[in-house]
Structure 1
Amino acid sequence: MDYKNQTIDISDSSESIGIENVIEKLQKLKLSLPLFIRVTGARQEQVELMEKLDRFADAFIFPYDKLKTEQLPTRISRKPIYVAINPTQFDVAFLSLIKAKYSGIILDEKNGCTHSETLINHQNILATLKSQNFNLPVITVGGVINPEDALLLLENGADLVLLSSGYVFAGPGLPKRIKEAQVEQLGTENSEVVGWKSYWLFGFSILIGGLITLLLSMTTIILPYDEFFLEMTRGTIEDFNERILYFMAHDRMTLAGTMISGGFLYVVLANYGVKNGLRWAKQAIDAAAIVGFLGILLFIGYGYFDWLHLLFWIILLPFYLNGFFQTRNLRGTPSSTNRKNHLTWKKSLIGQFSFVVLGFSFVIGGITISYIGVSNVFVTTDLLYLCMPADMLSEFNSRLIPVIAHDRAGFGSALLSVGLLVLMTALWGFQQGNRWVWWALFIGGIPAFASGIAIHFIIGYTSFVHLLPAYFALVLYVTGLIFSYSYFHLKQNK
């Protein structure tokens, strides 16, 4: 492995694991993509290998040096057979034989060559093949470390581009970046997708619901139907322990901020993603929405079913279902102006990684909080803040803990939904020039972080251990924004 030139040389004399082991491994593979099998050895060995591997292969590859000395076994299988040639072996004289007997050519990379050298070699051979009117499929191997390298090979006549060490040094996102560059090259304009407005209204309704919840958390905190269930007024609770109301305000304000952030992300994904035919945006909305709807089941665990939440659920459901069914055939893929592994792109990987970890952290946090909400309800720092054990709260009012559990479970499911939105956006929405994604993450994060952290200082619940996850998430959020800003706002290729 040559780190300086970013190449990996593979020896041609590597020891074989044996045909039986190969068959055993192939039987375990569940591939959805074509499988090319390279066959070497003497002619009789090639015949035996083809007979045993024919049921697994979509195509066979034979080395060019065997073609120069003996006839390759083309009648053993009906599968396509390609001849593998490296730049030093290429000979125009054999093209007529390849045309007559074989399915196409594989242009191998030569050990010891850099990516740029391999790319130039491939381009030269492709030009020669074009001048010789060679019309069989041509597949190139290697020479690609930037998306533009693959585009050049395809433009010069390659029918398929196989990645080698470039996949390792440029990262596993290279195939995705190449496809996005191809889509951008096509320059197709997507027509407005029917159904995006329903998703938009779904998100906007959640945003409005979050604003109303925020207002209530800053004023009355509990609602009349809460008092009816508790058989107790707000004043009675305050007289017993004013921190109980503060604690409930803390839960409800963090829920409100999460709802506002989630609603905003739904709106932006609908307006800029689904509207323009992007399938990943629909998938993100669907995953988060379904989890959010299922969150209502968490309220049953402690015996307090929130009828207002059910009403909100009923209002949201038609918007979501209409959007879901009207966009079920969405197939659009993203495009990108990115062509090179420039410094801005490399910095964006730190930003993308930060948002992936942030989204995953929200998902884990949402699951954890939901579990706490339907089990213990409180963590140690909660009880330290309240200055009383859970048993004392139950003795004061046996229905108080179910109400608090309801708030916790609701926040947990909302956080899980937002986590899925952030995670999927970070995984699928990172394309150069997609400034709307950066602004969605930036603006969308403000309500959740502002409400979630500020309320703790307002009510005096400032335990460092309790707030550590929020601080960790904030660092990831800021890091992601800083390192991805230039990439998202870079329109032209560098």
Structure 2
Amino acid sequence: MPDWSYHSIFKPMLFRMPAKLARDITLFTMGTLSRMPGGPLVIRTMGHMELTSILSGELAGVPIAYPVGLGGRLDPHGTAHRAMAQLGFGFIEVGPVTVQAIQRDEPILREVDDEAIVYPDGYENDGADRIAERMQRGSGHRLPHFFRLRPMPGRTPEQALHELRELLVKLAPYASGFYLDALDEGWPPEQAAAILLQAQQLAGEIALGKPVLLYVPLDASQAALEALAGSGALTRCQGVALGEAVRQEGGGSCVAADALGASLSAVRRLRALLAERQPLVACGGVHQPQDARELLAAGADCVQLHSGLVYAGPGLAKRVNEAVLYDRLCQLPEAKPYSFWANWGWMYLLGIGMLIGGVLAWLIAASSVLLPYDEVFLGVKRHTILEWNPRVLHFMSHDRITLAGTMMSIGIFYTQLARHGLREGLHWAKTAVFASCVVGFSSFFLYLGYGYFDPLHAAVAAVLLPMMLLTLRGLSDRPSRKPPGFLNDRIWLRAQWGQCCFVVMGVALAVGGLSISFIGITGVFVSTDLDYLGLSPQQLSAWNDRLIPLIAHDRAGFGGALFSLSIAITAAALWGVNKGEAWLWWTFLYGGLPGFTAGLWVHAHIGYTDFIHLLPVYVAIVLFAAGLILTFPYLMRGTGRGAE
């Protein structure tokens, strides 16, 4: 469920449901997908969160790949932790955890205008025993778990300390670290500080070597912070996790976007009290990448997400990582782009070759249609076919011109991805190009399905294949230095709808390409084809038994090329849409025009205008136009507070 599908399809439906039901359905669906064979790969592919050592670090001595954590109450049963682990999180909070389970029947509420979630009880959880059993079965991922330990409501300090000991014993085998949460039990600040100090000592004995961070409520008073500092509980801990929720009058707690101001203020106060080596995790108010940037600039070392994922979408972790990566890259010297002949230039030339080949194929298909070796294979000349049934030649022209337009579109995508993607070392561009190339070159074998060997296609493949192989030389990944989108503004939201249009179009073209290839190597014709020709397959074979193999060769080749193009389009739509990437908008525009123009023009030219036959083309054109319109402001201008 990436952001483009979340905002355009799923969020409108989910927000019509009760909050708890919507949450459970979402987490169950994601969790189920992650447990299916290949499920984690699908989730990673959709999100495409790239690993980079620039983002990796430590949280209180625990190695983490990203400075973004997942809040515990967002998925209290761990249903989708395996799926969430693929989305760019570096660690996961589990909890709050109490000795006994705490359940409430009151509904969870959404306050959409304020981007808030109101929980009836901040303590609600499955209890230590059940959580320990779940962890014993395995989480299905390798992210560190930080357990947030809380005493049961209404406990005395002595009872709370006993319960914290019990929690440490039960959960230490599965924990990478702990958050100690006991500051909002209503005890005097000095007494709470003393209990936490003793709990730290217990953790050092029971969970040797595992860090303990104090969990400081977001609305903790200055007196409580001073008591913590005075007792040594603050300075002797291995870090602080600043809470995400504000307590509500009458009970319950609220997690919301407007917690950012309180979080920034508390981060600054805590950073002034903490030693430089002590990490600080800010858990509240992160609803867009800019919020995380401000918290990190104020002194936080990591951020943790909760309500932001509900309102901004599951891609928020990735977007935060990209924003943090950009800020860190700005502090590093800029690497030189790869040289033309070292690698990317060969893919650029391959794209130009495809473009030129498409132009030549169009000219031939619009004039003679058949090449000399086609006539040799058939054993008849072009004029003989025209005299027998001119629509046969027109039909072949239709297949070959659509193939030519597709080749031109592929050539434009390859040149653009090479020049703007491979040249900068962008991993997603490399993945898109090579996946498309592998499919394109493999589709050559479809030409042999009916025993027809095309020497021209073989020669072209022999020339272009080495260019792809030469591109692989010394091509390593580099993160982009362009500023990403920092805000959840209107143009970003519109771009999610446009991105959805492009992805759906790419997937539809992939289905179309596979279908055409399958038809080409099996039945060859659909019913509307035969209606246009006015002939049956038997009549075609009776006139010339090599005619259908030649047509099948064209159909299979076009289907393979269309599938190859669809991969480039879908990958670019999934991974490349980012603020200010104007070149990608022009790639979609110029890359789409030849294919759509060829498809519409040739059908009108030969009179093959059956509505059902052309309906997929009309739908694709609508998606294409909508995608261009909706992504234009974001890709071409992309403005917003915090952009450099």
Q: TM-score, normalised by structure 1?
A: 0.94
Deviation, structure 1 residue 209: 1.2
Select 1:304's aligned residue among 452, 472, 477.
452
Aligned residues: 493
* C-alpha distance 299-63 of structure 1, shift in aligned 2 (>3 A): same
Match of 1:94 in 2: 228
Contact 1:177 1:336 survives alignment (8 Å): no
- Matches of residues 288-437 of structure 1 in structure 2 within 5 Å? 288-327=436-475, 329-333=476-480, 335-437=482-584
**How does 1:194-209 map onto structure 2 within 5 Å?**
194-209=342-357
Alignment correspondent of 1:214: 362
Q: In 1, distance between residues paired with 2:467 and 2:406? A: 20
Which SS does the other structure have where 1:144 is aligned? coil
Residue 61 (str. 1) matches residue 179 (str. 2) = yes
1:251 is paired with a residue whose SS is: helix
Contact 1:181-1:335 at 8 Å conserved across structures: no
* Residues 117 and 4 of structure 1: CA distance in aligned 2, closer, same or farther (over 3 Å): closer
C-alpha distance 64-331 of structure 1, shift in aligned 2 (>3 A): farther
Counterpart check, 1:171 vs 2:171? no
Mark the runs of 5 or more structure 2 residues left unpaired by the alignment.
1-109, 152-159, 186-191, 247-252
Q: Distance in 1 between matches of 2:357 and 2:135?
A: 54
Equivalent pair of 1:337/1:491 in contact (CA under 8 Å): no
Matched, 1:192 2:349: no
Q: Is the 8 A contact 1:59 1:80 kept in 2?
A: yes
1:245 matched residue in structure 2: 393
Q: Which runs of 4+ in 1 moved over 6 A?
A: none
| Structure 2 letter corresponding to 1:456 | H
Runs of 5+ in structure 1 lacking a partner? none
Greater mean alpha carbon deviation, residues 82-91 or residues 164-173: 82-91
Q: Distance in 1 between matches of 2:146 and 2:525?
A: 57
Residues in 1 aligned to 2:136 and 2:482: alpha-carbon distance in whole angstroms: 35
Please point out which of 289, 300, 322 is paired with 1:147. 289
Aligned equivalents of 1:56, 1:288: Cα separation in 2:
43
Q: Report whether the alignment pairs 1:76 with 2:217.
A: no
Residue 446, structure 1, aligned to residue 593, structure 2: yes
Counterparts in 2 of 1:380 and 1:190: CA distance versus 1, 3 Å: farther
Q: Is the 8 A contact 1:432 1:490 kept in 2?
A: yes
The separation in 2 between residues aligned to 1:234 and 1:26, in whole angstroms, is 73
Tell me the C-alpha RMSD between the 2 structures.
2.1
2:114 matched to which residue of 1?
A: 5
> What does the per-residue CA deviation read over 1:122-178, in whole Å, with 9 as the maximum and x for residues that have no partner?
211221123224321101112111221110001011111111111110112222322
Alignment check: 8 A CA contact 1:288 1:421 kept: yes
Larger mean CA deviation between 248-257 and 174-183 belongs to 174-183
Q: Distance in 2 between matches of 1:320 and 1:245?
A: 34
Corresponding residue for 1:14? 124
Between stretches 45-54 and 101-110, larger displacement belongs to 45-54
- The whole-number CA distance in structure 2 between the counterparts of 1:25 and 1:384 is 63
Counterpart selection for 1:40 from 129, 145, 150: 150
The DSSP-based 3-state class of the residue aligned with 1:335 is coil
Structure with greater contact order relative to length (CA < 8 Å, sep ≥ 6) = 1
Relative to structure 1, the CA distance from residue 493 to residue 366 in structure 2 (aligned partners, 3 Å threshold; closer, same or farther) is same
Name the SS of the counterpart of 1:489 in structure 2.
helix
More helix, by proportion: 1
Deviation at 1:348, TM superposition (A): 1.1
Where 1:9 maps in the other structure, the secondary structure is strand
Matched, 1:110 2:245: yes
Counterpart Cα distance in 2 of 1:464 and 1:137: 64
Output the CA distance in 2 between the equivalents of 1:139 and 1:228. Answer: 74
Following TM superposition, by how much is the alpha carbon of 1:85 offset from its aligned partner in structure 2, in angstroms? 1.3
Report if the CA contact (8 A) 2:118-2:255 is conserved.
Answer: no
SS for the counterpart of 1:29 is coil
Report the Cα distance in structure 1 between the residues aligned to 2:460 and 2:136, rounded to whole angstroms. Answer: 52
Q: Whole-Å Cα distance in 2 between the matches of residues 13 and 119 of structure 1?
A: 22
Distance 1:365 1:184, change over 3 A: same
Check the 8 A contact 2:242/2:267 in 1, yes or no. no
2:95 corresponds in structure 1 to none
How many angstroms does 1:197 deviate by? 0.6
Say if 1:337 and 1:493, in contact at 8 Å, map to a contact too. Answer: no
Which shifted more, 144-153 or 130-139?
Answer: 130-139
Structure 1 match to 2:69: none
The 1-side partners of 2:226 and 2:426 are apart by 45
Conservation of the 8 A alpha-carbon contact between 2:117 and 2:254: no
How far apart are the structure 1 equivalents of 2:213 and 2:567?
44
Q: Cα distance 1:151–1:222, how it changes in 2: closer, same or farther (>3 A)?
A: same
CA deviations 1:28-56 (Å, max 9, x no partner) are 43214322222334445444444444343
Distance 1:199 1:56, change over 3 A: farther
User: Per the alignment, do residues 242 and 17 of structure 1 end up closer, same or farther by CA in structure 2, a change over 3 Å counting?
Assistant: farther
Cα distance in 2 between the residues matched to 1:54 and 1:224? 77
Distance change >3 Å, CA 458–CA 202, structure 1 → 2: same
Report if the CA contact (8 A) 2:255-2:307 is conserved.
no
**In the aligned structure 2, how far is the partner of 1:334 from the partner of 1:201?**
25
Question: In 2, are the aligned partners of 1:190 and 1:277 still within 8 Å (CA)?
Answer: no
1-structure distance, mates of 2:611, 2:174: 58
Q: TM (normalized to structure 2)?
A: 0.73
Q: Which residue of 2 aligns with 1:256?
A: 404
Which one is further off, 390-399 or 130-139? 130-139
Superposition deviation, residue 276 in structure 1: 1.5
State the one-letter code of the partner of 2:123.
S
Percent identity, please.
Answer: 38
What residue in structure 2 maps to residue 473 of structure 1?
620
Partner residue in 1 for 2:266: 125
